[in-house]
Structure formats: C-alpha cells, structure tokens
Structure 1
Amino acid sequence: MFSPRGPSLGELCVQALSSVEHGYDLLAPKFDYTPFRTPSSILGATTEVLSTFGPFGRGLDVCCGTGAGTLVLRPLCTRGFTGVDFSAGMLGQARVAHPDGTWVRADARAMPFAAGFDLAVTFGALGHFLPAERPALFAGVHRALRPGGLFAFPVGTLPPATSVAHWVTLGFDVAMRVRNAVWKPPFVMYYRTGAVPAVSADLAAAGFTVEAVALTGLGEHSDGSPRCRLVLARKHA
C-alpha cells in the first residue's frame, strides 16, 4: 500500500498521535507516496462529470493538501485556481508541485473568500469534520462561490454489512473514537460520518441545490450500489 518513499510505521504513529494540523505537517513531505492521496481514478472520474458543466472561470480546492485537486481544476478552469488548507506543510508541497496555483493558508471553517469562484471541489476531506462542523464549512464554500457556482466532491458510499469493507471502516471509526477519548489533541478522521443523505441535508440548509450522481466507472459494491457518488451542490443564481 505504501511506496518505499512513503512514511515508516513509526512516522505514521507519531502523526496519528498529533493534532490534525500538526499530523499533516509531519506527513506532508511523504504524503503523495501514501494511499491517503486521492487516487487518479477518482480525480479522473470527477473531471469527466464536471466537464459536462464547464468550462468554469476560477476554481477553488478546499482542504487542498498537496494539490491533487489541481488535476481536476487546471483543465476545467480558464482563469486559474486557488487551494486552501490549514497545514503549512501540505501547502508548501503544493506550491512546489504546482507553481501556477494560488495557495492560501486558512481554516476551511472560516475561509477568507467572498463570491470569487465558479467551481469549488474537495477530495477526501469531509472525514476531518465532525457533523456539527459541516454547516460552517458549507457556509464558507457558499460564500466563496459566485451566484450559480458549483461545489462538487466525491463521497464513497457505505459498503453493505455483508462485506469486509463494512467492518474495516466501522473498526477504523471505532478505533479513532477510542483514540480521541483517551488522547489529546484529537485527530478527527472518520469514514462513516459523511453519508450522502446527511451531507446533502447540510448543503441544502446552507443554500445549495443538491444532486448526487453515481461514478459508475469506479465500480459497485456486492449489492449493486455504486462505490462512489459525486455530490453536485449549486449555489442559487
């Protein structure tokens, strides 16, 4: 799962016992050599769907990390793109890898943008926000978009209870809750708190019109449901 250039087990343990921000600062130089980086298959499937709505003007990558989302924004956005993240380490890697972008350090729950973007995306970040924090996150994205702007992100669907993946993700979330109950600072990362219906309800409350489309190219669970959906949230014009 890890490249030889990726982090050691010891480094991962130190990261896991840190805060989210400091943990990603530590992991940043080796992050792109881990399975935590958004796979190219997801980026490609997202680009394919969004290309039917574009082109767009300016793009925003929320919780951009080392900049994987640029592979979606660069071909779709004619006026450039901006990435925002609270990890200085991750932003440093993004600046080196993608010097054509604009990189801003800020908490995604309090982004300093207003009506400046036509497309916003985020990849693999929702698990870092507790459900109670999503309204602030989505309100900030809504504020950052121009009227009619689109916020898009893939969400992995919960596997059926008969699958190994169901129990692996459940076990991970339970382990993280135990870790956060006994160790401070917390490291928030949960796989099962961002189901499409709950996320869609929060987006609607923030002022978006929401739909979700299956990313069929990414496969299906054993019960025939898609492994991943793309949430499309449109700010009212």
Structure 2
Amino acid sequence: MFSPQGPSLRELAIQALSSVERGYDLLAPKFDHTPFRTPESVLGATADALRPLGPFGQGLDVCCGTGAGMWILKTLCQGPVTGVDFSTGMLAQARRAHPDAQWVQADVRALPFAQTFDLAVTFGALGHFLPAERPALFAGVYRALRPGGLFAFPIGAPPPLMSGWYWALLGFDLAMRVRNAVRRPPFVMYYRTCPLHAVRNDLTAAGFTVTTVPLTALGQREDGSPRYRLVLARKARTP
C-alpha cells in the first residue's frame, strides 16, 4: 500500500489490531514507504527555523521511529545525538540508517535522562499520547534538558471544517475509538487530540516558556494563516 515497497492492507490491519509497540515493530521495515513518515519538507522547514537558534550541544529525538529526524540533530548539534523510542523494530531500522548515533529503548512517558540535552525534537508522535499522558511526556523532556534547553516540534493547523481532510481525520479518529472500545490492548493513534492551545497549556504547566514561529516554507491556508507552526518550548536558565 502507498508504494510498491510499502505495507499491504492486510499488514496495516494486523498492525492496527496490535498494541502500539507490537504494531510498530511489525510496520518498521516498511515504515519509511508510508505517508506516516514525516515528509522531508517538514523536516527541512524545521531545520531552517532552528538553525538561527543554534548551534546546540547534545540533541535528543523523542519518539525517533526509524530516525527520519536524526539528520536535523546532526546538522544542528555539535555534540552526540540520541534517539529514544519504545519499538524494537523501529530502533533497529534507525540504527541501520544512523550507526553513528546513540539509541535508547524506553517509554518516553518516563524518559531516563536528567539535564543531558540542549535540544530535543519530536515529529508526528503526539497523536500516540492521550491528553492525560502528555504531562508526563513533557515533564520528562523538561528533566532531560539542560537549563536553557529547547524542545521543538512542528504542529499543523487544523483543516477547515468544509475540507475533505477534516472529515477524513474525524472519521479516522472515530474508527480508532471504536476499535479501542472493543479490543485490547488499545492502539493509540489520533489526529485530533493535540490542538495547539492544549499542547501549549501542557508545556507551560511542565515549566516551559512557549512561543511559536510560522513555518512559512510550508505554505498558508486560505485565510492567510500558516499551515504549520514550530512550537519552541524553552526550559528556564539557571539564575
């Protein structure tokens, strides 16, 4: 599906009926050939927006998957770069693509780091966390950063109510809720549970100072607002 190298419908169905961890273990060898991988345009726009804020020391990719975001850290960070994910399969693919990086298998709701990194990024992962789980995720990233460290990630604007994308994403989320109501373990993957205002509130509660910048290279909506913004969550510097 999606390309000759991508997963079949049967493979995707098996993944969706598994747990999140097992599902991504199964999908890992073909993940980079699906639309679920963060597009190069989003990665490039994020790198361009972060470059004037660097250089940084050590970098962390939270929910790194197959390592698509690792090249951003390599270009922006002068020290070692690390990816963390809980999927064995995804980390195996990431190690093959970036053997010079460091890889850690862990639940990112309990990150095993303390004041280690100067820059943390994440791409396309927030939909895998229920709103009640975001505080633990953001608190862990806050602990993992050194004073003055930055947590950055792109976030898309919601599609207009009358667009096909709005109804497609709504339908997907409803289907996932039905699936999780009737089958265990759940597969948490939602597109409409992390609006910018809610994410900003959770980051602020974790201790971050939050700003956003438009990723103008990714275009505008019909009303002139940006299609994507880069969230910049800064940890306070030591007095």
Identity of aligned residues (%): 73
Paired position in structure 1 for 2:160 = 160
Paired position in structure 2 for 1:202 = 202
State the number of aligned residues.
237
Pairs within 5 Å for 1:1-237? 2-237=2-237
CA contact (8 A) 1:57 1:119 kept: yes
Q: Which whole-Å CA distance do the structure 2 matches of 1:193 and 1:179 have between them? A: 16
Q: Look up the SS of the partner of 1:7 in the other structure.
A: coil
Q: Which whole-Å CA distance do the structure 2 matches of 1:149 and 1:51 have between them? A: 14
Moved more, 125-134 or 169-178: 169-178
Q: Look up the SS of the partner of 1:134 in the other structure.
A: helix
Q: Look up the SS of the partner of 1:192 in the other structure.
A: coil
Q: Which whole-Å CA distance do the structure 2 matches of 1:212 and 1:181 have between them? A: 35
Q: Which whole-Å CA distance do the structure 1 matches of 2:123 and 2:3 have between them? A: 21
> What residue identity is the alignment partner of 2:30?
K
> What residue identity is the alignment partner of 1:83?
G
Measured after TM superposition, the shift of residue 161 of structure 1 is: 0.6
Q: Deviations over 1:113-139 (max 9, x none)?
A: 000000000000000000000000000
TM-score, L = length of structure 2: 0.97
Q: Look up the SS of the partner of 1:41 in the other structure.
A: helix
CA contact (8 A) 1:160 1:222 kept: no
Measured after TM superposition, the shift of residue 14 of structure 1 is: 0.2
Q: Which whole-Å CA distance do the structure 2 matches of 1:64 and 1:125 have between them? A: 9
Q: Which whole-Å CA distance do the structure 1 matches of 2:17 and 2:186 have between them? A: 8
Measured after TM superposition, the shift of residue 167 of structure 1 is: 1.0
Q: Which whole-Å CA distance do the structure 2 matches of 1:8 and 1:74 have between them? A: 33
Q: Which whole-Å CA distance do the structure 1 matches of 2:15 and 2:42 have between them? A: 25
For the aligned residues, what is the CA RMSD?
A: 0.9
Measured after TM superposition, the shift of residue 214 of structure 1 is: 1.3
Structure 1: 5+ residue runs without aligned partners?
none
Measured after TM superposition, the shift of residue 105 of structure 1 is: 0.2
Q: Which whole-Å CA distance do the structure 2 matches of 1:108 and 1:223 have between them? A: 36
Structure 2: 5+ residue runs without aligned partners?
none
The runs of at least 4 aligned residues of structure 1 exceeding 4 Å deviation read none
CA contact (8 A) 1:218 1:227 kept: yes
Q: Deviations over 1:20-61 (max 9, x none)?
A: 000000000111111111100000000000001000000000
